[in-house]
Amino acid sequence: MNIFDDYLASLSDPQAKCLTEEILIWVTEHYPDLEKRIAWSSPTFVAHGTHIISFKATKKHLAVTVEGPTIRHFSERFTQLGLKFGTMNVNFPWNLPLNTELLTDLIEFNLNDKKDLTSFWRK
């Protein structure tokens, strides 16, 4: 996980550090073809030069960036799960278990929806 080591070391909250590392390992193991990088000071996973998913640990939650079309597509599900979300991010509270089914769906949606995209962000 070398590229994310400095980011993880910068997290002072042990729970945030542990859960963020767990999520990064999970994505790396389940999507080994995604390129790993740090973008906007956040662990980011990229396919063919386009953003798929990124993570930012905050005091209360892990902000998961997936972009507006993905947020809109899953907004009802986020609401049903009690997750707060904005225009680009959905927040995973630290006190909830890792929702790998939702992470899989977010990643798969972006991989499919952005398969022909050549820019980092959707326009």
Interior/surface letters 23-47, b for 16+ CB within 10 angstroms, e for the rest: bbeebbeebeebebeeeeebbbbbb
Q: DSSP assignment, residue 85?
A: B
Domain-located, residue 119: no
Residue 14, C-beta contacts closer than 8 angstroms, at least 6 positions apart: none
Say if residue 50's pLDDT is above 70: yes
Alpha-carbon gap, residue 21 to 121, rounded angstroms: 25
Q: Residue 123 — pLDDT band, cuts 50, 70, 90?
A: confident
Alpha-carbon gap, residue 90 to 88, rounded angstroms: 7
Domain-located, residue 118: no
Domain-located, residue 81: yes
Say if residue 117's pLDDT is above 70: yes
Q: Residue 1 — pLDDT band, cuts 50, 70, 90?
A: low
Domain-located, residue 120: no
Q: Residue 27 — pLDDT band, cuts 50, 70, 90?
A: very high
Domain-located, residue 41: yes
Domain-located, residue 109: yes
Domain-located, residue 57: yes
Phi-psi region of 48 (alpha: psi -120 to 50; beta: other; left: phi over 0): left
Q: What pLDDT is recorded for position 98?
A: 86
Q: How many domains does the chain have?
A: 1
Q: Residue 109: give its domain's CATH number.
A: 3.90.1150.200
Domain-located, residue 122: no
Residue-number span of the structural domain to which 15 is assigned: 2-113
Give the whole-number percent of the chain exceeding pLDDT 70: 99
